[in-house]
C-alpha cells in the first residue's frame, strides 16, 4: 500500500511506494525535495486521551474568577478616579527602567484612546528621553498578538496607529 503524505513546499498530496519510506524524494508537482515518512498502519494510530472534564471545569472557573476580579478592580478605580479621569502621570528621570517604560507606553495609548491629547503629549515627552528603548519596546508590542489587560478594549489597528504616530514624534 503506498505511503500518502503532503509536500512540505506546495502542500499537495503525494503517494510514494513503501520502499521509499525514510528517504528523501522530489515532489512531482513543485520539484521540491521532501522527506518521505514511514508508512503508518491502522494499529499504530493512537486514540486521544480522554478529556478530564473536572480539570476543564476548574480551568473555566479560574478564568471566570480572574475576569471578575479584574472587572472589580477596574470598577473600583473608576469609582475613585471617576469614569473619565486620566491615569496618574508618571514623572521620570532621564533614564527609566524597562518595566516603567512599558507602563508609560500603556498610559500613552490609554490617553490617546480617551482623547486626552495634552496628557499624551506629556507622556510622549517622557518617552522621547529613552528613544532607543522605547522603539525596541514598541516593536515588541507591535509584534505581540495579545494586548495587555489594560489595552484589551483598544482595537489592534488603532493601537498600531497610535504607535506609528508616537514613532514619528520620537
Q: Quick one: 102 and 162 in the same domain? A: yes
- Lookup: cell for 88: 496618574
Question: How far is it, in rounded angstroms, from Cα 85 to Cα 135?
Answer: 28
* Separation of first and last alpha carbons in the chain: 64
How many residues in the chain?
170
Q: Is residue 20 part of a domain?
A: yes
Q: Quick one: 145 and 91 in the same domain? A: yes
Q: Is residue 52 part of a domain?
A: no
pLDDT (0 to 100) of residue 62: 92
Q: How many helices (DSSP H) and strands (DSSP E) are in the chain?
A: 5, 4
Give me the domain span that covers residue 17.
3-39
Q: Is residue 7 part of a domain?
A: yes
Tell me the C-alpha to C-alpha distance, in Å, between residue 56 and each of 47, 61, 66, 68, 141.
Answer: 19, 9, 15, 18, 30
Could you give the 3-state DSSP secondary structure of residue 68? helix
Q: Quick one: 94 and 150 in the same domain? A: yes
- Lookup: cell for 106: 500603556
Q: Quick one: 33 and 11 in the same domain? A: yes
The structural domain count of the chain equals 3
pLDDT (0 to 100) of residue 76: 76
Q: Kindly state the average pLDDT of the residues 11-40.
A: 89
SS3 content of the chain, % helix, strand, coil (to 5): 55, 10, 35
Q: Quick one: 28 and 65 in the same domain? A: no
| This prediction's pTM | 0.43
pLDDT (0 to 100) of residue 42: 60
Backbone angles phi, psi at 159, to 5 degrees: -60, -45
Range scoring the smallest mean pLDDT among 15-19, 61-65, 99-103, 156-160: 99-103
pLDDT (0 to 100) of residue 91: 47
pLDDT (0 to 100) of residue 92: 42
Model confidence over 85-136: pLDDT tens digits?
Answer: 555 544 444 456 656 788 888 888 888 888 888 888 988 888 888 888 888 8
Model confidence over 40-69: pLDDT tens digits?
Answer: 666 666 777 777 889 889 988 998 988 888
Q: Kindly state the average pLDDT of the residues 17-34.
A: 90
Q: Quick one: 94 and 156 in the same domain? A: yes
Amino acid at each position: 500500500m503506498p505511503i500518502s503524505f503532503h509536500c512540505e513546499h506546495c502542500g499537495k498530496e503525494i503517494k510514494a511506494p513503501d520502499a521509499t519510506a525514510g528517504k528523501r524524494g522530489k515532489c512531482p508537482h513543485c520539484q521540491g525535495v521532501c522527506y518521505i515518512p514511514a508508512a503508518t498502519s491502522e494499529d499504530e494510530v493512537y486514540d486521544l486521551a480522554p478529556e478530564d472534564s473536572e480539570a476543564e471545569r476548574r480551568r473555566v472557573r479560574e478564568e471566570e474568577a480572574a475576569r471578575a476580579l479584574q472587572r472589580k478592580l477596574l470598577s473600583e478605580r473608576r469609582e475613585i478616579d471617576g469614569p473619565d479621569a486620566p491615569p496618574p502621570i508618571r514623572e521620570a528621570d532621564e533614564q527609566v527602567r524597562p518595566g516603567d517604560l512599558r507602563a508609560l507606553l500603556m498610559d500613552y495609548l490609554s490617553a490617546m484612546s480617551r482623547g486626552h491629547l495634552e496628557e499624551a503629549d506629556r507622556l510622549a515627552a517622557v518617552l522621547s528621553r529613552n528613544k532607543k528603548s522605547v522603539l525596541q519596546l514598541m516593536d515588541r508590542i507591535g509584534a505581540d498578538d495579545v494586548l495587555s489587560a489594560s489595552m484589551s478594549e483598544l482595537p489592534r489597528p488603532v493601537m498600531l496607529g497610535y504607535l506609528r504616530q508616537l514613532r514619528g514624534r520620537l
